[in-house]
Amino acid sequence: MFLRELLITTGQGVEIRKVVFKNGVNIILGKQNQNNNGSTNNLGKTTLLRCIDFCLGAESLEEIYADKEFKQNNEEVKSFLTEVKPIFILKISSSFDSKDFISIKREVDLNLKTDRIKNFINGEKISNSDFKNIKLKEIFFGSDEEKPTFRELIGKFIRKNETSINQIIEYAGPYFKDSQYEKVYFFLMGLDSPGLLTNKISIEKNLKDYKTKLRNLGRNNSEVSALKQDFFLISNDLDKLKRLRDEFKIDTEHKKEEEELNKTQLSLQKIESEIASLELKKKINLERQTELKNKQVSVDTVSLKYIYDEANYFNDSLPRTLDELVRFHNIMINNQIDYLTSSIEKYTSLIEEKEKTRLEYINEYNKLLSFFGTSGSLAEYNKLNEEISQKSIKYGEITSNIETLNLYTDKINEYKGELDKINELIYSLLPNLDKNLNIFNKYFSEYASKLSGNQDKLYTLFYTKKKDIYKFLIKNFDANSGSGFKQAMVIAFDLAYMSFTNELGLIRPHFATQDKVEVIDKTNLEALFSIANNINGQLIVPVIWDKFGNDSEIEENCILKLSSTNKFFNIEKFSNLLL
């Protein structure tokens, strides 16, 4: 997909800024005014990149008026945007030859507390969730996979902050984990078997969740054996105490009360065991219900589509359409959720009833103990029963912990088994990945060598496996290189990716942005501009006049000129409108 036009208007439709993009290099030029004085800073050169990012699902307009480095807002711009209630319209197309455009529109009203941003694609209103998570990914990547998300991917194409403009691979920063980068580069390099990456992410999340549950219990798998030993010891203690109580001699005049006490205690232990069992069943059903609700996402639709397409390949007269299959699948999931909800409600009701009965037994038990406590010679018997009661509580806790740990351990082993199967599938697909990397590196090594001036030093993208994670790296790239060379290599990487997707015919963004290119050596920058103008793609960069001066090539590739009298939002021009 190519960027064709960005239009920003007021809420009343008055044009604030219009930028028409071209194929090849697109320069936003910061110039001095006509008298060759004034600063080229704070003109809004980077603002265009941020506006593109906003049109493609950035959470808010804050990046446009906020300076994260100095943690302060440009109050003039913020006030302006609040007053005019801007509308952003980004037009895109599948090629520069196409006359068919897709219009992405975002209407903003910062005066509202909620629903500040409204999204439209070709005039159709889209919810924020569908806009960012579904529609944009379908348009720019031709995929309805849930993972990796559109916002995780698009950061490689819109580089606008210190991390993204200096890091070739880890453009999203250190808080983006290796496991996330793995999915991103698998997808970008064409390893996107239906459901594969989304399923792996889902399984890894479930595995992590159950490991966290174990940690929250203060236990780990190695302590299950210790718990069983605790269970064995406390069971022995309970048996000894119960034998002592059974052998305890009570005067015949209190024989009836003793029998009632024993009967009440047995009833109490029985109902406590029943409550513990119901609580465990309820807990298992709640966790199963949560898992099913998580399955009501696109991963299942994608997997079903893959199964359906496979079946349809061998039988072109399937009695059910894919939509009918998806609806049936969702109905089955919903039926299971409804059944589990009903079961949970039933268990909750039974637990409440048994808690009431348990309370009655406890009151009766305490009443009998109180009676024995006042009977002098029976004080020892009372103490014995109190010990049994305390041990029984501990016994119940250990039993519950063992059952819970066994449940979590079984789940962990289940997800580990599923993850092993996914990793086996990925391993079987690695030859395809290697083939695509060969194509990518053909372009990357060529473009990079033009920057380094060393034809023998090959720069290539490769992967290495660490445990179950494939980590992507750049061979021969020195992380301690100067910032200018780093940024030049980032651009070379992004241009190589455009050439790669062109050769394979992948649906991908055919544009890349890069900020602060002034630090790049002029010769290298000119080489990159030459490459960009000779491939089917767009390189969008802000440049200050001082870098090139009166250069005809810059003028030819310039799509927007900004100066102290023509800043990006033209706020002075709209001063009357704001009165």
**pLDDT tens-digit profile of 91-123?**
999 998 888 999 999 999 988 888 889 999 999
Instruction: Residue count of the chain, please give it.
Output: 579
Q: Would residue 448 count as lying in a domain?
A: no
Separation CA 285–CA 279 (nearest Å):
10
Distance of CA 413 to the CA centre of its chain: 24
Same domain, residue pair 282 and 137 = no
Among 367, 395, 427, the domain-final residue is 427
Paired tokens of 148:
């990796």
Paired tokens of 78:
């913020």
- For the residues of 70-108, what is the DSSP string, one character each? TTEE-HHHHHHHHHH--EEEEEEESSSS----EEEEEEE
The answer to whether 12 and 542 have CB atoms below 8 angstroms apart is: no
In the chain, the amino acid numbered 456 is D
Paired tokens of 570:
């033209």
Q: Is 451 left (phi over 0), alpha (psi -120 to 50) or beta?
A: alpha
What pLDDT sits at residue 28? 92
Q: Would residue 280 count as lying in a domain?
A: yes
Burial of 100 (0-12, 13-18, 19+ CB in 10 A): exposed
Identify the CATH number of the domain in which residue 34 sits: 3.40.50
Separation CA 250–CA 382 (nearest Å):
11
**Element containing residue 559 per DSSP (H, E):** strand 558-562
The answer to whether 385 and 239 have CB atoms below 8 angstroms apart is: no
What pLDDT sits at residue 309? 47
Q: Would residue 62 count as lying in a domain?
A: yes
Q: Would residue 511 count as lying in a domain?
A: yes
Distances (CA, A) of 312 to 98, 309, 332: 32, 5, 22
Higher pLDDT, 120 or 564: 120
Taking CA 445 as the corner, what is the angle to CA 444 and CA 450, rounded to the nearest 5 degrees?
Answer: 100
- For the residues of 29-46, what is the DSSP string, one character each? EE---TTS-S-SSSSSTT
In the chain, the amino acid numbered 431 is P
Secondary structure class of 217 (helix, strand, coil): coil
In the chain, the amino acid numbered 81 is L
Higher pLDDT, 275 or 236: 275
Secondary structure class of 489 (helix, strand, coil): helix
Same domain, residue pair 121 and 44 = yes
Paired tokens of 568:
């990006």
Same domain, residue pair 389 and 248 = yes
Q: What is the mean pLDDT of residues 503-524?
A: 91
The answer to whether 302 and 144 have CB atoms below 8 angstroms apart is: yes
**Which residue matches tokens 């003793």?**
258
Q: Would residue 175 count as lying in a domain?
A: no
The answer to whether 61 and 80 have CB atoms below 8 angstroms apart is: no
Q: Is 173 left (phi over 0), alpha (psi -120 to 50) or beta?
A: left
When the pLDDT of each residue in the chain is averaged and rounded to a whole number, the result is 80
* pLDDT class of 313 with cuts at 50, 70, 90: very low
Secondary structure class of 558 (helix, strand, coil): strand
The 10s digit of each residue's pLDDT in 372-406 is 655 554 666 667 777 777 777 777 777 777 777 77
Paired tokens of 106:
């975002």
Same domain, residue pair 161 and 217 = no
The answer to whether 544 and 518 have CB atoms below 8 angstroms apart is: yes
Per mean pLDDT, which range of 319-323, 407-411, 487-491, 566-570 is the poorest? 319-323
Same domain, residue pair 101 and 244 = no
* pLDDT class of 371 with cuts at 50, 70, 90: low
Among 427, 451, 469, the domain-final residue is 427
Same domain, residue pair 406 and 330 = yes
Same domain, residue pair 18 and 111 = yes
What pLDDT sits at residue 70? 47
Same domain, residue pair 250 and 324 = yes
Separation CA 389–CA 101 (nearest Å):
76
Peptide bond into 509 cis (omega under 30): no
Q: Would residue 94 count as lying in a domain?
A: yes
Separation CA 389–CA 31 (nearest Å):
85
- Taking 50 as the threshold, does the pLDDT of residue 291 lie above it? yes
Q: Is 216 left (phi over 0), alpha (psi -120 to 50) or beta?
A: alpha
Q: Would residue 432 count as lying in a domain?
A: no
Number of domains in the chain: 2
Separation CA 536–CA 499 (nearest Å):
7
Separation CA 520–CA 454 (nearest Å):
18
Separation CA 65–CA 408 (nearest Å):
48
Distance of CA 65 to the CA centre of its chain: 26
What lies within 8 Å, CB to CB, of 35 at 6+ separation is none
Same domain, residue pair 214 and 164 = no
Among 408, 427, 446, the domain-final residue is 427
Q: Would residue 203 count as lying in a domain?
A: no
Separation CA 363–CA 369 (nearest Å):
10
Same domain, residue pair 283 and 350 = yes
Q: Which domain holds residue 375?
A: 210-427
Per mean pLDDT, which range of 121-135, 224-238, 403-417, 460-474 is the poorest? 224-238
Separation CA 435–CA 218 (nearest Å):
47
Separation CA 267–CA 543 (nearest Å):
83
The 10s digit of each residue's pLDDT in 41-52 is 667 788 999 999
Same domain, residue pair 214 and 155 = no
Same domain, residue pair 47 and 144 = yes
544 - beta bridge partners? 30
What lies within 8 Å, CB to CB, of 46 at 6+ separation is 160, 515, 542
Which 8-state DSSP code applies to residue 563?
B
